[in-house]
Structure 1
Amino acid sequence: MTTLLQKSPIHRTVLNNGIVVLVAENPAADIIAARIFVRAGTCYENREQAGLSHLLSAVMTKGCGGLSSLEIAEKIESVGASLSADTSSDYFLLSFKTVTADFAEILALAGQILRSPTFPETQVELERRLALQDIRSQKEQPFTVAFEQMRQVMYQNHPYAASVLGDETTMNSVTRADLVKYHETYFRPDNVVISIAGRVTPTEAVALVIELFGDWQVPTQALPTLNLPEIIVEPQSRLKPLHTQQSIVMLGYLGAAVNSADYAPLKLLSTYLGNGLSSRLFVELREKRGLAYEVSAFYPTRLFPASFLVYMGTAAENTSVGLEGLRTEVDLLCTTEISESALQSAKNKILGQYALGKQTNGQIAQIYGWYEILGLGINFDQEFQELIAAVTVKDAIAVACKYLQEPYLSLVGQEEAISSAIA
């Protein structure tokens, strides 16, 4: 076992079986939150099985060892704790929160769920039906339709193209045997990070993890190599007629992965453009011109190249002028220098929101575990803040000219309105 003491408030230990344990001692409240990350998620699915990891997350807490779904729920709720499983593009997550006195019991239960889920067939079918309902309902939500359309055209055969839920065909094709195989392949100690924050010392937390997980053996077979298709940039337009009163106008640009030097400048440009009521898009297109019901930009943090998106919800008759307005504002990033004061405001906003996002034990356990599972390391917490602070106007213009040129376009709305917008 190796232990590293960092300058950060996080204690990092690697167990003999490869589990990384992160502990942030915070005695302020009598609560402990934990996040158990697994290097799994949608990027580790076969394309024909898109939605598999979502189904696994839904069924995983419905039976383990000798416990039924009801017995698991009673164990958690009888002590006022919470426990849930979730999946994303880049990782799988088991989360829980409990009072300090019950931490050992709930961590032991989480360990059972993580290591020996039973995937009861009746629960698999129930959760499949619920997922299919979600997939169908999303087809009636204009923003979701536009976003789905954008992901598919931008990422083609890359897993980022697919919804976490997959589609009706792939969700129907996943079997219980597929869940078992996926679990056996990726849920192993050398592929796990356990991040803990709350009223517990690092020594106590690590000793408990060793007691509960130390006997978990690393399989003899190596982890499969993640061999993803190359993302080919071919900007194009996609239109989806939908009977709705408003149009969703979405522009997409292929950005950088989190480990790229361009990540921080792009994150800052996304904040400047579309984060909040003082953002450029909100002020120019909604406040001054009254074009948008909603307008925003977002650029998620991803292990592989992430999409930089700007979008607007606007009245059908404003579709063309709204599209022109969005395109103009993005194009200005490359041709017109952002003022030092505007850049500093964006920095203050992103760093302020970042600090506010680390207030609870759950948030602390989440962010450090997330950085660890992405391969960035726990020191990225400090590095991210330094990277944002160091971005110059010149840096911002350079990444805008590099990434934000020819956009992908996704339009959803009344057929006449969206067709005339690109005529």
Structure 2
Amino acid sequence: MTPTVKPPVSHSPIHRTVFHNGIVLLVAENPAADIIAARIFVRAGSCYENREQAGLSHLLAAVMTKGCAGLSSWEIAEQVESVGASLSTDTSTDYFLLSLKTVTADFPEILALAGKILRSPTFPETQIELERRLALQDIRSQKEQPFTLALEQMRQAMYQNHPYAMSVLGDETTMSSLTRTDLVEYHQTYFRPDSLVISIAGRLTLQEAIALVEQVFGDWQIPDIATPAINLPTITANPQHKLKPVQTQQSIVMLGYLGASVSSPDYPALKLLSTYLGNGLSSRLFVELREKRGLAYEVSAFYPTKLYPASFVVYMGTAPENTTIALEGLSTEVELLSNTEISESSLQAAKNKILGQYALGKQTNGQIAQIYGWYEILGLGIDFDTAFQELIAAVSSQDTLTAAHQYLQEPYLSLVGQEEAINSYKKS
């Protein structure tokens, strides 16, 4: 059956093609360099795990390239490295990702290898054990990092029984209990053609890309059984204070607010507020709390782009004796967003920063393949590339004030530091 090709809209360089088995192919022709990059997204990730299997998609990503369709881990690595290509797998909360990059002549061979890895992984027991040990080392090592501890404490308070509460690594208990059977069942359930988005950028034509994808993936049939619906709990705000005493040289003070998902009309305003507060050396938090008051070793804000309501977080690393005053400083700066309109010049500066960084993030074939595939797998569509820039440009000071009123009120607090610093905060 001939795939359906959607011509690019006037402002988009992307061709979108849907194959008979549900695969969505995005192609950006870029003849400037003799390189092709591809990103293959799968509707999987940690949101598709059971709570008691947290870390499953991470372990699957780690083991997936260690054996497939008659090839050993060494043979896969040799096939990739012998032509100077790169191939890797990764997972996030909202999707699974296979990334590859080659010179144009080697792309058919490496794409065929990627197809074998995606479709026929063997999950060797020895590799599972090795990758599990490495994951457990990572989990233990993160327990020694104050920032990671504070973020984990914040996530768990904010998201409770939602998958966003857990690290993609899971924890020691869940990672230790995962089996090869778990990996096989997860793969059989979620790795299917109608869950795939293949995004390619580089020196090849649309027709060449369609022919290659048809050759590698065209015979992959949609299973008779529908993908099971993921019934995630509703995320509702219930702010709490979480304090964790540890022996550390600095306190990590973190305030979190339940924000909006990427599909919400409030997303652009919150993205601008996050940039204004904590993106770079000219940001409000850096200037006010580090440069003027000397309170912070580090200070920033982040608001990740997520399918479900994301956390809006401001944090500071500070000297133990400054813990309470640092917390007051962070709180004051966030509260100002609800009480005072951001000046037009500051708002425009934040817009310029976002849009400038966004443009710089679409320079390479890998970046181009990543961003369009990412939008497609999140259900936003390739036109979101233009829509995002227009939405950011259209945000007014009143919009940011309204968003702050709605989302940035009573915060979750996560504090990690010396016991004396925590006791001092309690008394204040």
Q: What is the alpha-carbon distance in structure 1 between the residues aligned to residue 130 and residue 389 of structure 2?
A: 44
Say whether residues 1:239 and 2:243 are aligned partners.
Answer: yes
SS in 2 for 1:134: helix
One-letter amino acid of the counterpart of residue 42, structure 1? S
Q: CA deviation at 1:347?
A: 0.2
Tell me the alpha carbon deviations over residues 216-241 of structure 1, each in whole angstroms, 9 at most, x when there is no partner.
00000011111101112110110111
From 210, 215, 218, the equivalent of 1:211 is: 215
One-letter amino acid of the counterpart of residue 5, structure 1? P
SS in 1 for 2:268: helix
Q: Report the TM-score when normalising by structure 2.
A: 0.98
1:170-249 aligned at under 5 Å gives the runs: 170-249=174-253
1:89-104 aligned at under 5 Å gives the runs: 89-104=93-108
Tell me the alpha carbon deviations over residues 228-287 of structure 1, each in whole angstroms, 9 at most, x when there is no partner.
011121101101111011000000000000000000000000000000000000000000
Say whether residues 1:163 and 2:148 are aligned partners.
Answer: no
From 272, 276, 279, the equivalent of 1:272 is: 276
One-letter amino acid of the counterpart of residue 264, structure 1? P
Q: What is the alpha-carbon distance in structure 2 between the residues aligned to residue 98 and residue 241 of structure 1?
A: 48
Q: What is the alpha-carbon distance in structure 1 between the residues aligned to residue 157 and residue 82 of structure 2?
A: 47
Tell me the alpha carbon deviations over residues 177-222 of structure 1, each in whole angstroms, 9 at most, x when there is no partner.
0000000000000000000001111110111100110000000001
Q: Percent identity?
A: 79
Say whether residues 1:253 and 2:257 are aligned partners.
Answer: yes
From 108, 119, 123, the equivalent of 1:115 is: 119
| Aligned equivalent of 1:34 | 38
Say whether residues 1:333 and 2:337 are aligned partners.
Answer: yes
One-letter amino acid of the counterpart of residue 185, structure 1? T
1:323-402 aligned at under 5 Å gives the runs: 323-402=327-406
- RMSD, aligned α-carbons: 0.5
One-letter amino acid of the counterpart of residue 346, structure 1? A
SS in 2 for 1:12: strand
1:76-155 aligned at under 5 Å gives the runs: 76-155=80-159
| Aligned equivalent of 1:317 | 321
Tell me the alpha carbon deviations over residues 47-83 of structure 1, each in whole angstroms, 9 at most, x when there is no partner.
0000000000000000000000000000000000000
Of 232-241 and 12-21, deviating more is 232-241
Q: What is the alpha-carbon distance in structure 1 between the residues aligned to residue 325 and residue 4 of structure 2?
A: 60
One-letter amino acid of the counterpart of residue 6, structure 2? L
| Aligned equivalent of 1:70 | 74
| Aligned equivalent of 2:410 | 406
Q: What is the alpha-carbon distance in structure 2 between the residues aligned to residue 385 and residue 308 of structure 1?
A: 20
| Aligned equivalent of 2:419 | 415
Task: Name the CA shift for 1:422/1:405 in 2 (closer, same or farther; >3 Å).
Answer: farther
Q: CA deviation at 1:326?
A: 0.1
Kindly indicate whether the alpha-carbon contact (under 8 Å) linking 1:320 and 1:422 is maintained by their aligned counterparts in 2. no
Q: CA deviation at 1:173?
A: 1.0
SS in 2 for 1:325: helix
Q: What is the alpha-carbon distance in structure 2 between the residues aligned to residue 143 and residue 24 of structure 1?
A: 39
One-letter amino acid of the counterpart of residue 3, structure 1? V
**How many residue pairs align between the two structures?**
423
Kindly indicate whether the alpha-carbon contact (under 8 Å) linking 1:239 and 1:419 is maintained by their aligned counterparts in 2. no
Q: What is the alpha-carbon distance in structure 1 between the residues aligned to residue 228 and residue 373 of structure 2?
A: 22
Q: What is the alpha-carbon distance in structure 2 between the residues aligned to residue 85 and residue 413 of structure 1?
A: 35
Q: What is the alpha-carbon distance in structure 1 between the residues aligned to residue 216 and residue 324 of structure 2?
A: 60
Q: CA deviation at 1:337?
A: 1.3
Kindly indicate whether the alpha-carbon contact (under 8 Å) linking 1:2 and 1:13 is maintained by their aligned counterparts in 2. yes
One-letter amino acid of the counterpart of residue 140, structure 2? R
Runs of 4+ in 1 over 3 A off after TM superposition: none
User: Any gaps of 5 or more consecutive residues in structure 2?
Assistant: none
One-letter amino acid of the counterpart of residue 225, structure 1? A
